[in-house]
Amino acid sequence: MIDPPGRISPAASPGLRPSRGPFRWIAYALAVTSFGAGLPTPWYAIFESQFVFSTGVLATVFGAYTAGVLLTMFFVAPLSDAVGRRPVLELAMLLTAVSGLLFLAADSVGTLIVARVVSGLAVGATTSTATAHMAALEPNADQHHVARVSVAANFGGVAVGVLLSGFLLLAGSGPARYVFLALVAASVLGAIVVARTPETVVRGTAPVRVQRLSVPTSLRLPFGIAAGGLAACYALYGFFGALAPSLLRGLLGPENLTDGAILVALMFGSAALIQLGLGQVRDRRALLVGLPLIIAAVVGLLLAFPLASVVLLAGSSVVLGIGVGYAYMGAVTLADRIAPVALRGEILSAFFVVGYLALAVPTIGVGLAADRIGLGPSALLFGIVLAAFALLLFFVLLGTPTPPGGEGRPRSSR
């Protein structure tokens, strides 16, 4: 799924002058894991019907992903500072390929849960490792560019996965199931190109450790704002990635899975494309733009369903994607900028733990509520709570001075 700016190891190879090619290949590997996270999205409504389980179970299947992410984020990704970036990324490509094979062979809820956990393991292994590798490989040491590309790769990978699955479903769910072989092929290519990129750490110079969490008291207010922005984005990702296809199926009709996939992809695609225009937008300003757009888009979506307006639904999805793109970039760069170098890993880990919990917990809650009151009313409640949260966060941000150190990172760290 979505990856943070990683740590640049102090053991980076001295004198390394990477070209743009290796940087782009690592961005590709980053996109592959997001592609794998997005590929099953149109299938959840189909699995729900084929295996006859409730919306609550569907949400739990989706949420199992978070367990995998957190497991490798804490225990595997930190190994990259000791054993090197490439071995960890190659493991991530292997796990991504295995998740594709599991989805291809899925014949029960249990298999789906295992597939989602393995997919989460792949993303967790990639989370800090790929972006740390990209940071060291960026020829101009432009960390803002690293952040933009990593965000675009994440959202773009999800959007491509959703669209590809949706369009292939036009051929029927039987033949379309082989779309997961595309994930296997993309992962194999990813492993090959990762193996050909230069290593950016000196192996054995950093201790093997479990990732710790830490937020100094003096940084808790700006950290809370950044983590709140991330939580809003991840909660929306969880809802769109898991439950929106079933909700759209009810509005558009059970035969219109491709149309539903297009609408979901509009949100993720817009979030990816907006990164092209975010060059020098500063973190606080990005949040001040993104949060109102999220609120307006959620209101539009809440109106689109009772009005049965596909136009309003599509327009709101695009606006939501733009808002998420702004808010996510603002949240990530704010958290990254306020973190002292010595505590950067601990602060960013705490930041993304909040995000991944926000991805899983609200989605599971909406799914369980749907079993009692229906998916439509539970989605309405989710939208109201999310809009209220974003509005509160916006007013807190308005009253909070820009944290020390300037409003945003310079374009280049040189």
* Tens digit of each residue's pLDDT (9 = 90 or more) over 11-35: 344 444 446 788 889 999 999 999 9
User: pLDDT for 159-177, tens place per residue?
Assistant: 999 999 888 887 776 778 8
Per residue in 36-67, pLDDT tens?
998 998 888 788 888 888 888 888 888 888 99
Q: Is the pLDDT of residue 249 over 80?
A: no
pTM of the model: 0.85
Residues 6+ apart with CB under 8 A from 218: none
Q: Above 90 in pLDDT, residue 410?
A: no
pLDDT above 70: percentage of residues in the chain: 87
| Measured distance CA(273)–CA(166) in Å, rounded | 20
Q: Which of 248-257, 298-307, 328-337, 405-414 has the lowest mean pLDDT?
A: 405-414
What SS3 class is residue 202?
A: coil
In the prediction, which pLDDT does 8 show? 40
- Average pLDDT for the chain: 83
Take residue 414 and report the two structure tokens written for it.
């040189």
Of residues 261 and 390, the one with the higher pLDDT is: 390
- Give one word for 95, left, alpha or beta, with left for phi > 0 and alpha for psi -120 to 50: alpha
pLDDT digits (tens, 9 = 90+) for 95-104: 999 999 999 9
Residue whose pair of structure tokens reads 């199931």 in the numeric block: 177
Q: Taking residues 113-118, what's their average pLDDT?
A: 94
Domains of the chain in sequence order: 20-398 (1.20.1250.20)
Residue 254 confidence (pLDDT): 60
Instruction: Specify which of 59-68, 316-325, 365-374 reaches the highest per-range mean pLDDT.
Output: 316-325
For residues 290 and 255, the model is more confident at: 290
Contacts with 192 (C-beta within 8 Å, 6 or more apart), sequence order:
none
What is the distance between the terminal CA atoms of the chain, rounded to a whole angstrom? 30
Residue entry with tokens 């491709």:
258
Place 394 in a pLDDT band, splitting at 50, 70 and 90.
Answer: very high
Lowest mean pLDDT among 189-193, 242-246, 381-385: 242-246
CA proximity to 83, closest of 188, 209, 196: 209
Residue 378 near residue 370, CB atoms below 8 Å: yes
Q: What is the pLDDT of residue 408?
A: 40
Q: What is the pLDDT of residue 296?
A: 96
Tell me the percentage of the chain whose pLDDT exceeds 90: 35
Band of the pLDDT at 404, cuts 50, 70, 90? low
